[in-house]
Amino acid sequence: MLDTAMGLMQRGVIPSVTDVAEAAEVSRATAYRYFPTQAAMIQAAVDEALGPILDWSSDSEDAGKRVAELLAFAYPRIEAYETTHRATLLLALDQWRRRQAGTLGSEMPVKRGHRRDLLAKAAGPLRASLGRQAFDRLMQSLSLIFGSEALVVLKDIWGLDGEQAKRVAIWAANALVKAAIADGPTVKAVTAAAKTKPKAAPRPRRGEV
């Protein structure tokens, strides 16, 4: 059933559980036993599409190299299942629209947060030296260039192919990591200064000099 769901998504379809049941020639009861909601089925398809990316690791202690390695490893896999990721993005946008309109109801939302854990793992060596605020800012910045949305922008807006998109993403990631390292001590110093700023002296009471 998962293969059937992925096959439909690779053709640009956002299938319902019923659609997958019919295509896989199984009963609806069986299909819903495995996938109680459409979102659960789509989530399983995305996890399968990401595959080895979710198990990525690096032996390097250099955060810049680790992030570059992650992007170099992940982009070809994302592109290989590009249609699946675009279909998932389309469903997430449709759910957002219906949530804003108050018509989503109790439908389970599609969760798309794998990049947060992967990027945190890649840039992990910088966590202690940057501090939480600067590290989180780096993660947020890197998330803009890692994932299906970045691939859509680079391919659809700029007309790049997959290899070119990957190179741009790695270049941008290197720039962000270098900027975070350069700004890190400044951010920490400003934060520390704010915490240790002396309190203003109390105003003298009436009659006191």
Between CA 5 and CA 101 the distance in angstroms is 28
Between CA 114 and CA 50 the distance in angstroms is 9
Say if 77 falls within a structural domain. Answer: yes
Say if 141 falls within a structural domain. Answer: yes
In the prediction, which pLDDT does 186 show?
Answer: 56
Domain count along the chain = 1
Between CA 114 and CA 193 the distance in angstroms is 35
Q: What pTM does this model have? A: 0.81
**Structure-token match 């909601």, residue found:** 37
Residue 198 — left, alpha, or beta (φ > 0 → left; ψ -120 to 50 → alpha)?
beta
Domain extent, residue 186, equals: 54-94+109-194
Burial class (CB in 10 A: 0-12, 13-18, 19+), 178: exposed
Say if 205 falls within a structural domain. Answer: no
Say if 75 falls within a structural domain. Answer: yes
- The residues, ordered by sequence, that sit 6+ positions from 83 with a Cβ below 8 Å of its Cβ are 9, 10, 11, 12
Q: Is the dihedral of CA 21, 24, 30, 33 positive or negative?
A: negative
pLDDT per residue as tens, the chain (209 positions): 889 999 998 888 888 999 999 999 999 999 999 999 888 898 898 888 889 999 999 999 999 999 999 999 999 999 999 999 998 898 899 999 999 999 988 888 888 779 999 999 999 999 999 999 999 999 999 999 999 999 999 999 999 999 999 999 999 999 999 999 999 755 444 444 445 555 555 555 555 44
CB 133 within 8 A of CB 31: no
Say if 203 falls within a structural domain. Answer: no
In the prediction, which pLDDT does 195 show?
Answer: 53
- CA-to-CA dists, residue 68 to 6, 36, 74, 150, 167, angstroms: 28, 38, 10, 15, 9
Say if 84 falls within a structural domain. Answer: yes
How many C-beta atoms surround the C-beta of residue 87 within 10 A? Answer: 24
How many residues in total does the chain contain? 209
